[in-house]
Structure 1
Amino acid sequence: MEQMDAALVDRVRAVLALGGVPYAELQDGVQQVGLRLLEARAKGDPPRSPAAWCAVVATRVAADWHRARRREERLGERLTALPDPPGGGGEEARVLALAVADGLEALPEKQRQVLVLRFYADLPVARIAEELGVPEGTVKSRLHAAVRAMRQRLRTDEVV
């Protein structure tokens, strides 16, 4: 598999940094751009100017990063603005909701995906496997790891 050369990686890092992506997340952005470049080449549609193409894609990755941050902020705002549930326990419920949201954000993408599909969308394991195109055993494994990680996170944060 073809890799991006060092000069191209440096250019992508610079575009991401100028786009406001934090230093700690630059490498993830570089990997996303590199993956998209490999996908374009695999489709038989390689860019005529990889440097220009990567700069445009890096700009989009930076914009996506900002959109994700705004979504997270809005989610936090919505969770803290929730009315108290009937029967009391409002503050505890808000703290738990915020802790779960933070825990979800900390999970790897594949674990977060199956957890949301299982517990928020209420899909059975077989349907999740079908939607994701993976074996049921893989879904069960990811789900188990995600639940274990969330449980550990909530205990560490002393929420439960």
Structure 2
Amino acid sequence: MLRRITRRGPRGRAPAGPLAHETAAPAAATAPAAAPATDPLDTAQEDRVRAVLSLGGVPHGELQDGVQHVRLRLLERAARGQEAPREVSAWAAVVASNWAMDYHRARRRQERLGERLAALHPEEPQEDGAESRLLSLAVAQGLDELPDSQRQVVVLRFYADLPVRDIADELGIPEGTVKSRLHAAVRVLRTRLHEGEVV
């Protein structure tokens, strides 16, 4: 029977060598590779964010910056270990709306209203396209005339389709305040529509 002979070093201890390292698997080789980061916004959510930004008066060329801001906010939440928002679409719409308001505080809009509307509605129905464009123009001009706080709730309620309760929760204001802002804004928009002889 063959016996394994171990070479002894000084004081009878086996010297450290290749055999001493063979039993330990390299940690780097066995550690699982980090999973690639996934996009926190799906296509529908990104389209919604773009619509909210555009209706909030952000020029077409600046929309991607707003989308990236929303995406970064979601990634920051994940990095801090916070749970994803219960309703990602609603949360993203509010963040986008806030970004649009910040944008207007920082600089004046430079693109014409018609270009923004064209980006939102690239394909108009032929049979009533002219009337639809006129209606959109009148509403958008009315939006431009609203105070930021009123325009924000209008965009979130009628374009992002958020319930009043969700808007109040996300903005941290009472539901009654949301309703009063909506009421005042709708009154201005109706006046704008009548002045334009659309209705």
**Local SS of the residue matching 2:162:** coil
Q: Distance in 2 between matches of 1:85 and 1:77?
A: 13
Counterpart of 1:125, as a letter, is V
Residue of structure 2 equivalent to 1:69: 110
Q: What are the Cα deviations for residues 81-130 of structure 1, in whole angstroms up to 9, with x where unaligned?
A: 733326x1111001111111111011111110000000000000000001
Query: How does 1:89-104 map onto structure 2 within 5 Å?
Result: 89-104=128-143
Deviation at 1:157, TM superposition (A): 1.6
Q: Distance in 1 between matches of 2:132 and 2:161?
A: 21
Q: Distance in 2 between matches of 1:98 and 1:62?
A: 20
Q: What are the Cα deviations for residues 23-49 of structure 1, in whole angstroms up to 9, with x where unaligned?
A: xxxxxxxxxxxxxxxxxxxxxxxxxxx
- TM-score, normalised by the number of residues in structure 2: 0.43
Asked if structure 2 preserves the Cα contact closer than 8 Å seen for 1:104 and 1:112, the reply is: yes
Asked if structure 2 preserves the Cα contact closer than 8 Å seen for 1:82 and 1:94, the reply is: no
1:84 aligns with 2:130: no
Q: Which runs of 5+ in 2 are unaligned?
A: 1-102
Deviation at 1:78, TM superposition (A): 3.3
Deviation at 1:158, TM superposition (A): 1.1
Deviation at 1:131, TM superposition (A): 1.0
- TM-score, normalised by the number of residues in structure 1: 0.53
Deviation at 1:155, TM superposition (A): 0.5
Look at both structures and tell me which one has the larger radius of gyration over its CA atoms: 2
Residue of structure 2 equivalent to 1:131: 170
Asked if structure 2 preserves the Cα contact closer than 8 Å seen for 1:126 and 1:136, the reply is: yes
Asked if structure 1 preserves the Cα contact closer than 8 Å seen for 2:150 and 2:185, the reply is: yes
- Give the % identical residues: 56
Residue of structure 1 equivalent to 2:193: 154
Asked if structure 1 preserves the Cα contact closer than 8 Å seen for 2:146 and 2:185, the reply is: yes
Q: Which runs of 5+ in 1 are unaligned?
A: 1-60
Residue of structure 2 equivalent to 1:25: none
When residues 158 and 73 of structure 1 are mapped into structure 2, their CA distance, relative to the original with a 3 A threshold, is closer
Q: What's the Cα RMSD here?
A: 2.6
Deviation at 1:62, TM superposition (A): 9.4
> Which structure is richer in relative contact order (CA contacts within 8 A, separation 6 or more)?
2
Deviation at 1:159, TM superposition (A): 1.6
Q: Distance in 2 between matches of 1:138 and 1:62?
A: 22
Asked if structure 2 preserves the Cα contact closer than 8 Å seen for 1:107 and 1:146, the reply is: yes
Residue of structure 1 equivalent to 2:181: 142
Asked if structure 1 preserves the Cα contact closer than 8 Å seen for 2:114 and 2:137, the reply is: no
Over 6 Å off, 4+ runs: none
The count of residues paired between Structure 1 and Structure 2 equals 97
